[in-house]
Structure 1
Amino acid sequence: MHVTVDEDLCCGAGQCALAAPEVFAQREDRTVMLLQPAPQEQHRDAVLDAVGSCPKGAITLSDAAPVPFADAAGEAPAAPPA
């Protein structure tokens, strides 16, 4: 399980930190701070609650970590020519 947050969408409601305090916290400006981008399976229900309670939809959950530097099609860029 992999969690991502869009800090630009976060409105600081704090529901995520209440639902899953092991995974989320709030900064002084009340925006979300992701403590565990890959939480243990035992936290899945709490993370799902956090995702569902986010009023701005700033939290997403996937089964795998994203590919770094993926393009719009989800493919990693080709290596530069040697």
Structure 2
Amino acid sequence: MLSKQKNPLSPKKLLLTKWTAVNPSNKRKHFLVSKVILPDLPEQSIEYVELEAVFDKQIQLIRWRELSDSSIWLQGWL
């Protein structure tokens, strides 16, 4: 049986997308992808994005594939 997957994430389309932390810390629950970190060499793939907390503008760098883990992140602001 084929598993039905939601639209797979693409690192090039993540800029300005909204995310909700499943386990918020320090009142940081809602985040915005503020930057997609481009690799040094164009033939390398994108690995990281910057997330900005809406609450206090705190920036954190994460591997973009972590956003696919629904135990950590939910797409949109919930």
TM-score using structure 2 length: 0.29
Which one has the bigger strand percentage? 2
Bigger Rg, which one: 1
Kindly indicate whether structure 1 or structure 2 has the higher relative contact order, using CA contacts under 8 Å at least 6 residues apart.
1
The normalised TM-score by structure 1 is 0.28
Query: By percentage of residues, which structure has more helix?
Result: 1
